[in-house]
Structure formats: C-alpha cells, structure tokens
Chains A and B, each alone.
Chain A
Amino acid sequence: MSNTGAAHAASHDHGHHDKTGTVIFGFWIFLMSDLIAFSLMIANYADAEWHGIANGPSPHELFSLGLPTIETMALLISTFTFGICTLGMKYGASMKRTVGWLVLTLALGAIFLGIELYEFHEFWTEGNTPQVSGFLTAYYSLVGLHGLHVTSGIIWGILLMVQMKTFGMNDLIKSRLVRLGLFWHMLDIVWIALFTKVYLMGVL
C-alpha cells in the first residue's frame, strides 16, 4: 500500500500545505509564460498564412480534417485519463492504479505524436518542406513546438514513474504528478487553439 492516506494528510502542519501550494502556483506562472510564447507563435502563423504563401500551397490546399480530428480526440481522451489519474491519487488510490492511468495517458500522447509525425512526413515527401514558404515555416514551427511539448511530457511521465517506484508515493512525488497533470491539461488547451486556427480555419 503506497498511499499515505488520511492520517498522513491530517498530521501535516500548515507549513507543508503552503509550500505545496506555492510550488504549484509557481508552476502556473511557468505555464502562463509558455502560453504567451504559444500565442505569439500563433500570431506569427496567422500573419504567415495571410501574406507568406509565396509559390507554395495555401492552408486550404494542404490540410484535411480526418487525421487531425483523430489526433485531437486522442489528446482529449488523454487529458481526461490524466484527470482520473491525479484525482485517484489525491483520494488515496493504489500506486498500481495511478501508474496504470498514467501509462494509458502517455500511450495516447504517443498516438497523438505518431499521427503528427506521419502528417509531417506526408507533407515533407510531397515537397512541402519548411523552406517553401513563410506559411510552411510557421506551420512546422508552431505545430512542431507543440509536438516537442508532448514529447517532453511523455519523457517526464516515464521519469516520474521511475521515481514513484524508487521513492514511493510521498508528498513530493504527488506534487510532481499534479504539476505534470497541469502541464498535460495545458497541452490540450493549446492544441484546441492550434486545431481551431490551423486546421479548422485552414480548411475553410
């Protein structure tokens, strides 16, 4: 039984609670700075899509909705499964259960990433490389940056599972899992913006 449970939580003094809260708020500040970076990448993309087509394809010619919709659903399900994972942890689920939901979440993230790389590969082999136009440069940068975040999240999750096995489910590990959860939910929120701007509005 890895769970420290109710007795542990009750025995904690207020100082610890405040520290965990402060650490998580600090992580929120990082997430918001990351959100600003993403939104400026989107602004850059919006301009490149408008003025930077050059002799390359337009978004309308390049994109279709099928694969990106499946991709979006995979990420959406993964954010939900991460929610189940962290919620169970908070209410004293076994480590086996917590790790199980985390593995499922990371697997869905890997599916998302696989579809994205497949799409990049398709575009690339059709000759639509980043050098073709400002629009394509902006596309690969923006969507690729998000993909790098998903990759980081997967690596981070795997490392965290190693830490869970090594140190057990102590409060520090729990706080790290909550922060990875916030990071992962933020990835989904950013993807909603990308899916809307790049794919839905691009196909229109």
Chain B
Amino acid sequence: MDYINSDVGMDSAEYKHDMARYVWGFALSVVLTLAGVVIVAGGMFSVGVAWSLVGLLGIAQLVIQFWAFMHLDFSKEARPDLYLVLFTFLLIILMAAGTVWVLADLASRMGMGAGSM
C-alpha cells in the first residue's frame, strides 16, 4: 500500500476505515489521559497503587498512539517498522533502566539514602 497516494477518493470505504482508526486512537487517548488525571487528583488510591496505575495508563496510551497515528500493527507493510520499534524499546530498557540502576547504586554508596539498590 502506498504511503502517499491512494487509488480512491475521500468518499471511499477505505478512507472511512482509516479515519475510524484515527478517531478511536484519539478517543482512547483522551479517556486514558483524563483517567490518569482523575487518579492523581482524586486521591482515592494509595501513592503506590496510583503510581502503578498511572504508569500502566501511560504505556497503554503509547501503544494505542503507535497503532492509531503511526500505523504500527502486525500487517506485512508495517513489519519493518514494528521490528525497528521493538528493537529500540529493547535498547531503551537496557540503557534507561541501567542508567537509573547505576546512579541509584552510586547514590546509596555515597550515603545519599537511596535505599538498597
């Protein structure tokens, strides 16, 4: 499927199908964002639970936006993009988690009270 040109116009079923994907992505993103705000502002959960919920809502929204707006899915056309993104997230987990780990360990060895990492 061509990225930039379609054989059919804006009154086609394909256009409506593609548009539905954007509308779903947008609607779900708004709901997830507001849910996060309500959890933090409402104070109905303990800090630990709220922290985890907000984190999960954020990750869910990342996945939805990659799917809806950047057309990332399991289709054949999106396969190279998908592999690239998955590899990037592997690097991110290694580097970002490793950075936090090393710095927290350093801080605790310097007596900055950073717990037991």
Contacts and interface: CB of A to CB of B under 8 A. Distances in A.
Interface of A: 4-6, 8-10, 12, 17, 20-21, 24-25, 28-29, 32, 35-36, 39-40, 42-44, 46-47, 50-51, 65, 69, 72-73, 76-77, 79-80, 83-84, 87-93, 171, 174-175, 178, 182, 185-186, 188-189, 192-193, 195-197, 200-201, 203-204
A196 to B, nearest CB: 4
A47 B103 contact: yes
Which of B69, B91, B103, B104 has the most C-beta atoms of chain A within 10 angstroms of its own C-beta? Answer: B69
Given A47-B104, A65-B40, A80-B26, A73 B33 contact: yes
B96 A39 contact: yes
A69 B37 contact: yes
Contacts of B47: 204
B19 A87 contact: yes
A171 B100 CA distance: 45
Contacts of A89: 4
Contacts of B29: 76, 192
B84 interface: yes
B8 A90 contact: no
Interface in B5-35: 5-10, 12, 14-15, 18-19, 22, 25-26, 29-30, 33
B65 A79 contact: yes
A185 B95 contact: no
A76 B96 contact: no
14 contacts: A25-B81, A25-B84, A35-B88, A47-B100, A51-B107, A65-B41, A69-B37, A91-B12, A92-B9, A175-B4, A189-B62, A200-B58, A204-B50, A204-B51
A92 B103 CA distance: 52
Contact of A43 (B40, B55, B57, B99): B99
A174 to B, nearest CB: 4
Contacts of A88: 10
A185 B69 contact: yes
Contact of A6 (B7, B33, B70, B92): B7
B5 A4 contact: yes
B107 to A, nearest CB: 5
A29 B81 CA distance: 9
Nearest to B95: A40
A25 B80 contact: yes
Contacts of A92: 6, 9-10
